[in-house]
Chains A and B, each alone.
Chain A
């Protein structure tokens, strides 16, 4: 190959994952739909119980309608997991960026963070529904809710920070550092809110194990959501890189 006439190095995207992404999107959509149907048609409402009228489960009065609200759980938990996985990827690419100073990894980290934010918001919405119908309150400083609120705030701060730094490389370094700090902070936050017995708030959690069919349903939705998250990530990544490519081409044109 003629190596002499190498075009200027431009930001690229679209290796093999981009070919997989559309398939992943379809698979994700199918799987989540199947999961959605399963939750209503196949999985029993609550651990082996079906209620006529009202009954006392744990410490709270429960009606059939309330038990239906439990279905949201099958979306809430996978969405929450995906948002955390996206955060792990953001921090992972953050570390790789700090090690290599390759702008590509910064774009990866940023897009992963965006996906994380999207799924965090979905988590908060589904979580709110759950809290309202299952626990009967709009908000409680329960460990998982608190952790996700904090996570959401850090991720929002991450994007505000990115907008507040002018020099591109400095911005990327700061963003990478914050993504790593976020990944360390969030599990600590969960541990601390979980392990310290709260003397003020009543424990509203109802204990209950998961049956096998619940687990299967959950797994189906989780895989589906992961596929959707991945496809969204690739789509957005391609878009970001194309934008950067346009900027680079503009620069190159100006030069000649």
Chain B
């Protein structure tokens, strides 16, 4: 029996915990497998996106369709993205909570940063997937009659930068709000003001690409640089603070 103890307790005989990168990829694959099996989050996000588009359609139904629409379009597109991501972010952590799974992960020798990055990246992937569907749909309903500037295709860049920031900050905040009463509202309350600066920069950059010309020259670079700066600072902060939040 003593041999068994020795076998069971020999620390030297233990395999070293896998690298953070390896753990990250294992965790990410877990999220993707789960989502692509149930499609719960993606379906609800897409349906919600369509609903937001309908509401926006009603809001604009008495405005005369014209080239000026382009000035508003960029902003409305971000309304769509923010509300749709909010829905997805809420879902992403309730799944971890359902069976106490998050504690299961914390029991293992997992790097806390790896948990954050895996969750943020999976959220980013889902948000981007929904955008691939929702943005063309948005275009079809609102802007197909206007001719945007040649730079319009560049709006992919702010979409990407914005989604990265939303996923990063959203992951931190949804980890907090999943443990609160009335978590859906709580996430919105925290998320919208915190992400406001990013939103502002992204709307500016998107509008610049749609209008082109003078506006583009004046605002494109500065908006993008600031949005990217927000991403870097906030994601770094979220990464540092995540350890406290997830183990609280």
- Is there direct touching of A and B in the complex, by C-beta distance under 8 Å? yes
Chain A residues within 8 Å of B, Cβ to Cβ: 98, 146, 150, 153-154, 156-157, 160-161, 164-166, 169-170, 173-174, 176-178, 180-182, 184-185, 188-189, 191-193, 195-197, 199-200
Can you name 20 A-B residue pairings with CB atoms under 8 Å?
A160-B186, A160-B189, A164-B181, A170-B248, A173-B248, A174-B176, A176-B244, A177-B172, A180-B237, A180-B241, A181-B237, A184-B233, A184-B237, A185-B193, A188-B197, A192-B198, A192-B227, A196-B223, A197-B219, A197-B222
Closest A residue by C-beta to B169: A181
Chain A residues lying within 8 Å of B192, measured Cβ to Cβ, are: 153
Q: A154-B193, A178-B176, A184-B233 are in contact. Are A195 and B226 (CB under 8 A)?
A: yes
Closest A residue by C-beta to B182: A164
In the bound complex, what is the Cα–Cα distance between A117 and B179 (angstroms)? Answer: 25
Q: A161-B176, A177-B244, A181-B241 are in contact. Are A196 and B190 (CB under 8 A)?
A: no
A184 near B190 with CB under 8 A, answer no
B140 touches A (CB below 8 Å): no
Chain A residues lying within 8 Å of B194, measured Cβ to Cβ, are: 154, 181-182, 185
Q: A154-B190, A181-B237 are in contact. Are A98 and B244 (CB under 8 A)?
A: yes
Q: Which listed residue, A157, A180, A199, touches B215 by the CB 8 Å rule? A: A199
Q: Which listed residue, A160, A173, A196, touches B226 by the CB 8 Å rule? A: A196
B200 touches A (CB below 8 Å): yes
Chain B residues lying within 8 Å of A146, measured Cβ to Cβ, are: 200
B89 touches A (CB below 8 Å): no
A174 near B248 with CB under 8 A, answer yes
- Point out which of B177, B194, B215, B227 has the most chain A C-beta atoms below 10 A from its C-beta: B194
5 tightest A-B CB contacts, nearest first: A164-B180, A173-B248, A153-B193, A157-B189, A189-B197
The SS class assigned to the B binding surface is helix
Q: Which listed residue, B196, B204, B244, B245, touches A196 by the CB 8 Å rule? A: B204
A196 near B222 with CB under 8 A, answer yes
Q: Which of B98-150 contact A (CB under 8 A)?
A: none
Chain B residues lying within 8 Å of A169, measured Cβ to Cβ, are: 248
A199 near B219 with CB under 8 A, answer yes
Q: Which listed residue, A176, A185, A191, touches B234 by the CB 8 Å rule? A: A185
In the bound complex, what is the Cα–Cα distance between A150 and B229 (angstroms)? Answer: 19
B71 near A192 with CB under 8 A, answer no
Chain B residues lying within 8 Å of A157, measured Cβ to Cβ, are: 186, 189-190, 193
Interface mask (B71-88 → A, CB under 8 Å = 1, otherwise 0) = 100000000000000000
A195 near B245 with CB under 8 A, answer no
In the bound complex, what is the Cα–Cα distance between A104 and B224 (angstroms)? Answer: 42
In the bound complex, what is the Cα–Cα distance between A180 and B173 (angstroms)? Answer: 13
B93 touches A (CB below 8 Å): no
Chain B residues lying within 8 Å of A170, measured Cβ to Cβ, are: 179, 248
Q: Which of B208-248 contact A (CB under 8 A)?
A: 211, 215, 218-219, 222-223, 226-227, 229-230, 233-234, 237-238, 241, 244-245, 248
